[in-house]
Amino acid sequence: MQPSPPGASTDRRSLLRLLGLGAAATVGATTLAGCSKEAGSRGSATKADAIRSVLPTHKPAELLKPDIPGEGPIPDGYLSYPRTLVDAVTEQPGRGGPPIRTMSPWWGPAPPTVGRNSYLAAVNARLGVEVDPSLQDGTTYADKLNAMLGARDVPELLSAPNWEVDKVARFSDAVRALFEDLTEHLKGDAAAKYPYLAALPTGAWEYSVWGGRLYAVPFPTDGPFAYALFHRADLLARAGLTAPKSPEELHELGRQVTDPAKGVWAFGSVFEMVQQFFGCQQTWRRKPDGGLEHKFENPAFAAALEFTAKLFADGLVHPDTVASKGADEKQLFKAGKILMYQDGLGAWQGMQGERVKELPSFDMQPLPVFGAAGAQPVIWGSEKPVFYTFVRKGLGAERVDELLRVLNWCAAPFGSREFELREYGVEGRHFTRSADGSPVPTELGRKELGAQYTHIGGRVPVKVRSGDTPDYVRDYLGYYQKNIALMEKDLFAGIKLELPANWSKIIQPTDDKIRDILRGRRPVGDLAQVRKEFLAAGGEEGRAFHEKALADNGR
């Protein structure tokens, strides 16, 4: 045997001593344990009453009458770009304070920073205070956020996507320790000082409350539905086919259009939409006895699973989707290699506008929603805001006021000069006008704009017609208006849930097992086993947690 190298040997006691030292250092450090879902986190829920009492009084700020008025969570629609704009903010928001560091997520190449970016210079001149945005990659935002929260190192304005916030354990502790309580600034009529923040929908504000206090300015969603099932209306029409009205017709259509020899398959990912067609809830629904039923316990889920597994088994799903999670279904759809796939409705306008330039016949449409075997379909969705903007704690009331005035400017509605400057930059530099008056970004505009002000300010969402997608606004709002009645009622609307750690931990492993069943690696009959494991490993704990949250709120 080779002698061990000098120094490498040690005895058990010295190792333990060292480890003990390490543990003590960890406990003593001034870090928040907000890095990941800790084992043992039991979750928490804030009551709806406590939330309602701290919300700003909602005052709509409509500068322009919409052509298609939205209702509830559906945005207003405009079929033309206004010829004249109004000044929404007359007083400069900046009070000459020091530069404001912000951080917000961005999914794309980062635009140039202050000093080399004429768009930032133009907006900052109007604000009267320098905003210095740092755009961080949206896909790794959680890592960055965890490190920053743990180290208590946050910028003055921090924008965080709702799904990242949901991943941080004990976020309500972090919020209290790091961010300014905005309740006194924005509660009730106090919000009138910031009219465009007061105009943000109440449904979005409800989610910005932690521990009964208002901690963030929300960035409302521009459409509450989680998914739509997009199909290539142009290709179906060319093949003389019509949109299916039942699962059987959907399967039959899939069989007719799939042609592996031509590299064409009917479907990409569709499972979440199939569940909705079959009338399955997103997560929980109420049983007649008042208790909660998880979707795995709903026979509709089993039926949707069986149906979708059959689509896979019959070879109607594109092999890229079968093989991986990361299939670029957008590309496949644009190329006509798949005819249907599910995506957020936010993908619609960008893809339509881009592809129609090369393929004028390109027409993507959400498939009309239908039910299975006489059952009503449901549509998943919520009014949860896309982002929250937090203000760093301890800046003093005057500075907080200045920051809120800046956010108010950033929330200026459609039809104002502020909106145009924020969304498109300076005319002639960052955009030109098309014949109908709507702005068309220039190369410089595309390079320099990165939603630096949009993502921190919230805004009342609107849908505006643009030249390259003339029918989009009508189609989009039409789809919403037709289906909004089917949207599942959120049992927990207005209750702030921080889910127990065990619950969060079982989601992914269970999703993986369901994926295996869909792809035929496990028989459909295994669902019973998967359900049993799910309930044992945290599902029941989750049920108890959710039932308690409802009971506490008298629901």
Partner 1 sequence: MTAQLSGTGPNLDARRRRSRRAAWEEPPTAAGTVAKGVVLTLLVAAVLVPLWAVLVTSLASRDTIDTAGGMVMVPREIDPSAYVTIFSGGQITRAVWISTLVTVLGTTVSLVLTVLAAYGLSRPGSVGHRGLLFFFLLTFLIFPGLVPSYLVVTGLGLKDSIWSLILPSAISVFNLVVIRAFFMNVPGELLDSARIDGAGEFHVLARIVLPLSKAVIAVVGLFYAVGYWNAYFNAVLYIDDNDKFPIQRVLQSYILAGQSPNVSGAAVSLPGVTAYPPTLAVKMAVVVVTVIPALIVYPFVQRHFTKGVITGAVKG
Instruction: Please report how close the Cβ of residue 401 comes to partner 1 at its closest, in angstroms.
Output: 25
Under rule CB under 8 A, residue 335 binds partner 1:
yes
Q: Annotate 186-236 with DSSP letters as a single string.
A: HSBGGGGGSHHHHTS-HHHHGGGEETTEE-EEEE--S--BS-EEEEEHHHH
Residue with smaller CB distance to partner 1, 60 or 344:
344
Under rule CB under 8 A, residue 135 binds partner 1:
yes
Given 393, 447, 505, 555, the residue binding partner 1 (CB under 8 A): 447
C-beta separation of 166 from 210 below 8 A: no
Q: What are phi and psi of 78, to 5 degrees?
A: -125, 130
Q: Under rule CB under 8 A, how many of the chain's residues touch partner 1? A: 81
Under rule CB under 8 A, residue 464 binds partner 1:
no
C-beta separation of 539 from 513 below 8 A: no
Structure tokens at 80: 């033309």
Q: Which stretch binds partner 1 (CB under 8 A): 92-100, 170-178, 398-406, 505-513?
A: 505-513
Q: Which residues 6+ apart lie within 8 Å of 224 measured at CB?
A: 73, 74, 381, 382, 383, 487
Given 319, 344, 467, 525, the residue binding partner 1 (CB under 8 A): 344
CB-based contacts of 439-444 (< 8 A; 24+ apart in sequence): 439/81, 440/467, 444/118
Instruction: Please report how close the Cβ of residue 289 comes to partner 1 at its closest, in angstroms.
Output: 26
Under rule CB under 8 A, residue 291 binds partner 1:
no
Under rule CB under 8 A, residue 248 binds partner 1:
no
User: CA 322: distance to chain centroid?
Assistant: 25
Under rule CB under 8 A, residue 242 binds partner 1:
no
C-beta separation of 502 from 545 below 8 A: no
Given 175, 216, 217, 451, the residue binding partner 1 (CB under 8 A): 451
Under rule CB under 8 A, residue 359 binds partner 1:
yes
Given 28, 485, 508, 554, the residue binding partner 1 (CB under 8 A): 508
- Map the footprint of partner 1 across residues 41-60, applying CB under 8 A: none
- Map the footprint of partner 1 across residues 150-169, applying CB under 8 A: 150-151, 153, 161, 163
Angle at 127 between CA 123 and CA 130, to 5 degrees: 80
Under rule CB under 8 A, residue 28 binds partner 1:
no
Residue with smaller CB distance to partner 1, 56 or 155:
155
Under rule CB under 8 A, residue 342 binds partner 1:
yes
Instruction: Please report how close the Cβ of residue 86 comes to partner 1 at its closest, in angstroms.
Output: 22
Residues 362-401 vs partner 1: string with x where CB under 8 A? Answer: ------------------x-----x---------------
Under rule CB under 8 A, residue 29 binds partner 1:
yes
- Map the footprint of partner 1 across residues 303-332, applying CB under 8 A: 328, 330-332
Instruction: Please report how close the Cβ of residue 506 comes to partner 1 at its closest, in angstroms.
Output: 11
Residue with smaller CB distance to partner 1, 202 or 466:
466
Residue with smaller CB distance to partner 1, 183 or 502:
502
Under rule CB under 8 A, residue 485 binds partner 1:
no
Under rule CB under 8 A, residue 38 binds partner 1:
no
Structure tokens at 546: 């959710």
- Map the footprint of partner 1 across residues 209-228, applying CB under 8 A: 221-223, 226-227
Q: Which stretch binds partner 1 (CB under 8 A): 57-65, 238-246, 350-358, 391-399?
A: 350-358
Which of 352, 465, 448, 344 lies closest to 414 in space, CA to CA? Answer: 465
Residue with smaller CB distance to partner 1, 183 or 504:
504
- Cα gap 218→209, rounded to integer Å: 10
Cα-trace Rg, the chain: 26
Under rule CB under 8 A, residue 507 binds partner 1:
yes
Which of 507, 510, 542 lies closest to 527 in space, CA to CA? Answer: 510
Only one residue has tokens 């330039």, namely 357
Q: Other CB atoms closer than 10 Å to residue 369's CB: what's the count?
A: 20
Which H, E and C letters describe 183-200, residue by residue?
Answer: HHHHCEHHHHHCHHHHCC
Look at strands 462-464 and 157-161 and give their pairing: unpaired
Q: Please name every residue paired with 100 in a beta bridge, in sequence order, or none if there are none.
A: 131
Residue with smaller CB distance to partner 1, 214 or 270:
270
C-beta separation of 75 from 223 below 8 A: yes
Under rule CB under 8 A, residue 113 binds partner 1:
yes
Given 61, 63, 190, 347, the residue binding partner 1 (CB under 8 A): 347
CA distances from 434 to 312, 403, 440 (A): 46, 35, 6
Q: Which stretch binds partner 1 (CB under 8 A): 79-87, 207-215, 395-403, 446-454?
A: 446-454
Under rule CB under 8 A, residue 121 binds partner 1:
no
Which H, E and C letters describe 74-137, residue by residue?
Answer: CCEEECCCCCCCECCCCCCCCCCCCCEEEEEEECCCCCCCCCCCHHHHHHHHHHCCCEEEEEEE
Given 285, 355, 465, 543, the residue binding partner 1 (CB under 8 A): 355
Residue with smaller CB distance to partner 1, 19 or 239:
19
Under rule CB under 8 A, residue 259 binds partner 1:
no
